[in-house]
Amino acid sequence: MPRNIPVGNGELLVTFDDFSQIRDIYYPRVGMPNHTQGHAQRFGVWVDGSFAWSDDSTWERELRYKPDTMVTEVTLRHKQLGIELQCNDAVDYHSPVYFRRIIVTDLLDKQRDVRVFFHHDISVNGSPVGDTVNYDPDLAGLVHYKDDTYFLINGCDERKCGIDHWATGTKRIGGAEGTWRDAEDGQLTRNAIAQGSVDSTVGFNLHIPAKGSSYVVYWIAVGPTHEAIVELNTKILTKTAQRMMDRSEAYWRLWACKEPIQFDPLPEPLRDLFVRSQLILRTQIDNGGAIIAANDTDITHFAGDTYSYMWPRDGALVAHALVLAGHGELSRAFFRFCANVISEKGYFLHKYNPSGTLASSWHPWMIDGKPVLPIQQDETALVLWALRQHFRVFRDVEFIKPLYTPLVINPARWMLEHRDHNGLPKPSWDLWEERRGIHTFTTAATIGALLAAADFATDMGALDHAAEFTEGAERMRGAMLRHLWVNEQQRFARMATPLDDGTYRLDMTPDAANFGLFAFGALRPDDPMVMAEMQAIRDTLWIKSPIGGIARYRRDYYHQVERSDIDNIPGNPWVICTLWMAMHKIAIASNVEELNESLEYLQWTRDRAAVSGVLAEQFHPYSGDPISVSPLTWSHATVMTVVMQYLLKHAELTGTRSGIPAELAT
């Protein structure tokens, strides 16, 4: 099930499903570890003798955020029970504390006896082995703990602070379902402690007057010691949970709207999608600099692994979006992270954990008995390219100084060494991580990176390096045109495989990734060959169903829905691929009318978003339902990039600069 309305602060991340159940809790890093293993943390209500969990089909649900901030606004209405729940979720912007405020309202014009229950299927540090949960009488709450991680579950209602009901017990041991079953009669056992594979449930009593309301604020505070959660609990009681939620709401609204960008040329829903994308994207970024691809544990059922890693490619393109939106502090943290994990030779491996350690990979180190580099060269190239985009905007020389050798000189030299006899990059894995060869996308990204390195070298007075990098880029561009362009088809190959005689076997499968030809400066966007390539992508990869959108490539097998009608449904529509078409429309526009042709693709994206604004990786070509992980950080970053490119181009075409930062408008 897709994750919806995530909330976080770069240290603590909490995600929800469409039933408003917590599904993932990450701490102390975004992406690791997941203390729920993706299991649902149920919540429900007992009302005058009847019970309903939030995943019951009888609820009417609406999940969204408050405008321009990272506080949720969730409505759950149960006609049979005659109550409505208004829920606000937030993670404190500064401390590792998650809050849920629930206002319960009577809909039947009579007094109600209501008990709100919260269930916790916590596996501390990602494993249920050796966990303990106990009732702490000094805190009047429950504590789950193991090793250096403690969770305090507590809350306040209108009358007092502390939980009214609790139960601790075992889960998935000997057929035990968990303590949540105990809540369904409105009572809990008050068992004081449980050890091993444990869970817990807490409850609060509310008395609702006829046509009236009452509330409870529940929280989970996390820390490395018992003393730390005691201190957090004291802070919450002193400041009050509502004040902490209010300050977090104000902080994130300030953060999301700090730049005086004028969105007037855009329809209001697209402005809202841009602001929401910033906030959702921020939930996926660790305070240590790692930009995580996605934090949706359900993907493990399909792939046996998660997306909770830092891919340098994804991170670089997200960093570029952050730069365009004015969030230089986050892009700086990302580049520092990259400088710490890149190899001494100047290349990145497949992906990294949020802690900076090497992550899981399916790229082999040996093929046919010969050693190979298990890399995707575009990942190395795009970090260098994105660093240059950052510097163009912020001109932060002191920041660049320690990064110049590890992220500019070493990668550029390595890319020059890692060329074949024609000047093309040697084979590596493609950006889709499926094929090994010489890819048009990788070649274009490498050209852009070498040109970026040349610009850095010129700035630093290293004119010999600048000349070397420029010559390498020009030679690679020439080789790309000679060996990857097929004049008879008026298209670029997506991949070339070297043959023993020094030539190449070309794979001519249409691939949306060839947008990279213009995106990183390898060719001009209005070059006739680029124009022909982008038209071919639009003609062959547009989904010919009411859903529409652009597929990654013809006969895309990843989560494939349609296997027979490939001419009409070449694959599932992806947000990033669809918005790449918008990028090209913006880049070639010579007037506002042409520029507005890009809005078709932005509006398609808005139509695919959940009510909350969350965007998945891809969608079902017939139903439009989200497929694979959701939210995907790259999807939201591409929205941000395209919106800013649109506004910048609009300012250029109309001669207006209102609200556009001067450094971007140059």
Q: Is residue 505 exposed (0-12), middle (13-18) or buried (19+ Cβ within 10 Å)?
A: exposed
Q: Which pTM was predicted?
A: 0.97
What is the distance between the alpha carbons of residues 180 and 119, in angstroms, rounded to a whole number? 6
For 159-178, the pLDDT digits (tens) are 999 999 999 999 998 888 89
Residue 461 CB-density burial (10 A; 0-12 exposed, 13-18 middle, 19+ buried): exposed
Question: CB of 514 within 8 A of CB of 440?
Answer: yes
Could you tell me which residues are beta bridge partners of residue 352? 310, 358
Number of other CB atoms surrounding residue 137 within 10 Å: 9
Q: What percentage of the chain exceeds 70 in pLDDT? A: 98
In terms of DSSP H, where are the helices of 20-145? none
- pLDDT value at residue 175: 81
* DSSP per position, 200-258: EEEEEEEEE-TT-EEEEEEEEEEESSHHHHHHHHHHHHHH-HHHHHHHHHHHHHHHHT-
Fold of 272-665: Glycosyltransferase (1.50.10)
Mean pLDDT of 339-356: 98
pLDDT band (50, 70, 90) for residue 153: very high
The pLDDT score that the predictor gives to residue 517 is: 98
For residue 170, count other CB atoms closer than 10 A to its CB.
Answer: 18
Q: Where are the beta strands (DSSP E) in 123-212?
A: 131-136, 141-146, 149-157, 165-170, 193-196, 198-208
Q: How far apart are CA 104 and CA 206, in angstroms?
A: 8
| Closest among 239, 184, 190, 192 to 217, alpha carbons compared | 239
């390498």: which residue's tokens? Answer: 472
- Report helix, strand or coil for 76: strand
Predicted confidence (pLDDT) at residue 200 exceeds the cutoff of 70 = yes
| CATH of the structural domain 4-255, one choice from 3.60.70.12, 2.70.98.10, 3.40.50.720, 2.60.120.260 | 2.70.98.10
pLDDT tens-digit profile of 331-344? Answer: 999 999 999 999 99
Can you tell me the mean pLDDT for 578-589?
98
* CA proximity to 609, closest of 170, 12, 36, 65: 65
To the nearest 5 percent, what fractions of the chain are helix, strand and coil? 35, 25, 40
Q: Contact, 408 vs 468, CB < 8 A? A: no
Average pLDDT of the residues in 471-489: 98
Q: What is the mean pLDDT of the chain?
A: 96
> What are the structural domain ranges in the chain?
4-255, 272-665
CB 346 within 8 A of CB 414: yes
- When pLDDT is cut at 50, 70 and 90, the band that residue 665 belongs to is low
